[in-house]
Amino acid sequence: MNALLAALRAVAEPTRLRLFALCAGGEWTVSELVGILRQSQPRVSRHLKLLTDAGLLERFGEGSWVFHRLIQEGAAAGIARRLLTLLPEDDRALALDRERLAEVKWQRSQAAATYFARNAESWDRLRSLHADDAKVERTIKKLLPLRQTDELLDLGTGTGRMLEIFAPDIHRGRGVDLSCEMLAVARANLERTGAANCTVRQADIYQPPFRENCFDAVTIHQVLHFLDDPGRAIALAARMLRPGGRMLIVDFAPHDIEELRLEHEHRRLGFGDKEVAAWFAAAHLKHQRTVHLPGDPLTVSLWLASAKAAGKAPKG
């Protein structure tokens, strides 16, 4: 009863209710939330602290940024999800916040899109600046052995490298990406390497243009650190998997290289194993294996999960 009372008290104030609703839609810094609410930074910080103290939000620092998001696990997570269902859909203040949130997301995605448009031609070289590509790709193929009957979906396919390396093993590969410039390079790469069984199209990870349950494997290679709601992207990707299908996520382990934010549009400075495992669990995936490939200065992590054989992941 105490947890429920604390949660109810915390949201029983208009600004806090708005913040709670906003944090259900991703991971946000205080300055982003200040921009949406148009209230002073100390006031927003104070309300965020109260929501965090009541167990509804979690706060995590990463380099010079601090993010807030809805609590992911435990009893309070259940309370938080139920409270969200009570939010009035037609409330004008909440609707305006959603619009401003969409604007913040758009601005961020434009910054990333500009970065990828500028770097599409040189992406294959840039990628290998951060990690030993050959080692990572060998490990990817070892962790995710695919068969000639398999269909693969590569989310945030960029220049199509995942499709290229898996093309000889699979029946069909599909790649999606937001950036037309990256996709233009992907098409050229797939043609050059004779990967006629693979195609790419422009789409948002948050709106996958496919039916549910129609892929045997999903790869998300070096994409998650650009996203404002990685957990949601994983949950949506999980729905694309057939029963028993596998998902492989490749990204950086936690690091403190702020320069990647400043110069390469990264939003998150890597991910911890526990965080990814919690997202798998929330997406009803079974975490199978984690591999770390230590590098200097960045460690690449590979997280493998599978969809339950019995049925598809429930919606929500």
Based on the shown chain and the rule CB under 6 A, indicate whether residue 116 belongs to the binding site for ligand SAM.
yes
Region of 4-12, 83-91, 173-181, 278-286 interacting with ligand SAM (CB under 6 A): 173-181
CA distance 134 to 313: 34
CA distance 110 to 267: 13
State which amino acid sits at residue 312.
Answer: K
Based on the shown chain and the rule CB under 6 A, indicate whether residue 156 belongs to the binding site for ligand SAM.
yes
Tell me how far, at minimum, the Cβ of 51 lies from ligand SAM, in Å: 27
Based on the shown chain and the rule CB under 6 A, indicate whether residue 178 belongs to the binding site for ligand SAM.
yes
Spell out the residues 6+ positions from residue 20 whose beta carbon is closer than 8 angstroms to its own: 10, 11, 51, 56, 57, 70, 80, 83, 84
How far does CA 54 lie from the centroid of its chain? Answer: 26
Judged by CB under 6 A, the residue of 47, 68, 69, 161 near ligand SAM is 161
Residue 314 Ramachandran class (φ > 0 left, ψ -120 to 50 alpha, else beta): beta
Based on the shown chain and the rule CB under 6 A, indicate whether residue 270 belongs to the binding site for ligand SAM.
no
Spell out the residues 6+ positions from residue 223 whose beta carbon is closer than 8 angstroms to its own: 155, 156, 158, 205, 233, 251
Tell me how far, at minimum, the Cβ of 264 lies from ligand SAM, in Å: 8
8 or 129, CB closer to ligand SAM? 129
Based on the shown chain and the rule CB under 6 A, indicate whether residue 245 belongs to the binding site for ligand SAM.
no
CA distance 255 to 17: 33
Tell me how far, at minimum, the Cβ of 2 lies from ligand SAM, in Å: 39
In 3D space, the residue among 239, 229, 207, 233 whose CA is nearest the CA of residue 221 turns out to be 233
Query: CB of 15 within 8 A of CB of 39?
Result: yes
Tell me how far, at minimum, the Cβ of 144 lies from ligand SAM, in Å: 14
Judged by CB under 6 A, the residue of 179, 189, 301, 306 near ligand SAM is 179
Region of 6-14, 72-80, 204-212, 238-246 interacting with ligand SAM (CB under 6 A): 204-212
Per rule CB under 6 A, count of chain residues that contact ligand SAM:
21
Give the contact letters, 126-155, x = binds to ligand SAM (CB under 6 A), - = no. Answer: -x----------------------------
Based on the shown chain and the rule CB under 6 A, indicate whether residue 204 belongs to the binding site for ligand SAM.
yes
CA distance 7 to 185: 49
116 or 271, CB closer to ligand SAM? 116
Number of residues assigned to the chain: 316
Judged by CB under 6 A, the residue of 23, 62, 152, 159 near ligand SAM is 159
Burial class (CB in 10 A: 0-12, 13-18, 19+), 207: exposed
CA distance 74 to 186: 42
Residues interacting with ligand SAM, by CB under 6 A? 112, 116, 127, 156-159, 161-162, 176-179, 182, 204-206, 221-223, 226
